[in-house]
Structures are given as structure tokens and as C-alpha cells.
Amino acid sequence: MMIAGLGPTFSQQQMMELSYIAAHVFERLAQIRILDVKPSDLLTEREVDCLNWTAAGKTSAEIAEILGLSEHTVNHYLNRAAKKLDTVNRTQAVAKALRIGLIK
């Protein structure tokens, strides 16, 4: 952590307090990150497959042809994955799946 500015220099006591607060903030962020990863365990293999192909730029029709499914089924898998990942659409679902390492 770095603190910079044009104000007066912090005392040693103030620096210790800031370091203490920063440590707690980083610890809380790590806890939040762990919570963010949990939903990935709930996705089925097909949902992950559909997210991977979506991340590769394929449309639902193209994914359906690749996986031997109907376009409706692909859309269903993507909608379920989005819901499980607590996102509102497939784009956000792909972004979150990438962020948490569920897909590459």
C-alpha cells in the first residue's frame, strides 16, 4: 500500500493505524473473493461447455450444432449458468466465469 499527497507527514502512530486498517480491508476482500468462487461448483458440465463456446465467440446456433443440441437447449443452459453465477445475462456470466477461473 502506498499513501501519497501534499499534506503533512503522518506520525508513526497514524501509519500503524493505517497499516492495521489496510490489513483488515485486504483480509475482507479475500473473504469476498472466496464467496465469489463458490457458485462455480454448482454448474453442470454442459453449462460450462456452453460458457466456453460463448467465450470463444460462438452464437447459440453454432454452439447447438457443435454440441449436438437444440438452440433452445443451449439458451437454457446459458440462462441457468447466468442465474447460478448471479449475473443478469450470458455476457456477464462469461466474464465472471473467466474471472473466477471456471473457463479459460
Q: Model confidence over 22-67: pLDDT tens digits?
A: 999 988 887 777 666 555 568 999 999 999 999 999 999 999 999 9
- Report residue 94's pLDDT band, with 50, 70 and 90 as the boundaries: very high
Cβ contacts of residue 60 below 8 Å, gap of 6+?
71, 74, 75, 78
For the 13-104 domain, the top CATH level (class) is: mainly alpha
Mean pLDDT of 70-89: 95
Average pLDDT of span 13-28: 90
> What gap in Å lies between CA 81 and CA 51, rounded to an integer?
8
Share of the chain above pLDDT 70, in %: 91
Domain ranges of the chain: 13-104
As to burial, measured by CB atoms within 10 angstroms (0-12 exposed, 13-18 middle, 19+ buried), residue 74 is buried
pLDDT score at 35: 64
Under DSSP, the state recorded for 8 is P
Task: Name the 3-class secondary structure at 11.
Answer: coil
Helix ranges, the chain (H)? 12-37, 45-55, 60-67, 71-84, 90-99
What is the reported pLDDT for 34? 65
